[in-house]
Amino acid sequence: MYINLSGLNILVTGASRGIGKALATKLAEAGATIAVHYNKNVREAENLAHILGNESKAFQADFSKPDEAAKLFERVTLEMGSIEIVINNAGLAKPASVDAKDDEWMKAWNETMMVNLNSAAIICKKAVQHFVSRKAAGRIINIASRAAFRGEEAEYISYAASKAGLVSLTRSIARSYGKEGVKAFVIAPGFVRTDMSQEFMQQYGEDHAKGDLALERLTEPKDIAPLVTFIASGMADHATGATFDINAGSYLH
């Protein structure tokens, strides 16, 4: 199936590596112009934007800081003129033991919520306002996790809770703004072979991560990109509000 995204500006958060990089690459191959968001990996992000072509650009923002997400959206719209699709992919998985001191546990909780949920929420808010004010169709694709539905190991409670919030946020946007042209979707991966998942696998072992798979290998970023590109095309608009599981059959609900 040929998908043409030419003329569409797409903001991909956390795009300098891992899932975000794979998404940005596939979307650019379909003709889209990508706003490549990064936090610290400036060289990787700028190099990726150059490789992607289509006038793609790199944009920095630290989502652990309260005002950064809104400023990012405003910079992207100012420099690109418009955004047609938002993909909230940036994420943080910060472990914290229940036996940690309360202030240390809350610090990890708050940072996780700020990056995974609060910053994504403000970008969604800005996107809805942008789409509605332009009276143009817009799509939001939020990268959540199977952890939102089945929970996670005790040290990663904050991660699972933040992703559950992202799912509910997405569904509410889909229900509330569909008639104004806004569609919203959830992608819920299981373990994906990325730098972020390495810490978990080092702690619990790769066999633990692979133990409940129905397929022969862990999901890789390239396995997620085709579905996201299909959703971005508009051919799945009547699935607005839906969650698409990509977890190698490790959690079915």
Annotated catalytic sites, by residue? 159
- The end-to-end CA distance of the chain, in Å, is 28
> CA–CA separation, 28 vs 53, rounded Å?
8
In this structure, what are the phi and psi dihedrals at residue 225, rounded to the nearest 5 degrees?
Answer: -60, -40
Instruction: Mention every residue, 6+ apart, whose C-beta is less than 8 A from residue 47.
Output: none
CA 132 to chain CA centroid, Å, is 22
Sheet holding 182-189, edge to edge: 57-60, 33-38, 9-12, 85-88, 138-143, 182-189, 243-246
> CA–CA separation, 182 vs 173, rounded Å?
8
HSE-CB of 64 using CA atoms within 13 angstroms: 11
Residue from 243, 247, 178 nearest 215 by CA: 247
> CA–CA separation, 68 vs 49, rounded Å?
20
Cα–Cα distances (Å) from 11 to 35, 90, 159, 232, in that order, read 5, 11, 23, 12
- ∠201-203-207 over CA atoms, to 5°? 45
Q: 57 in helix, strand or coil?
A: strand
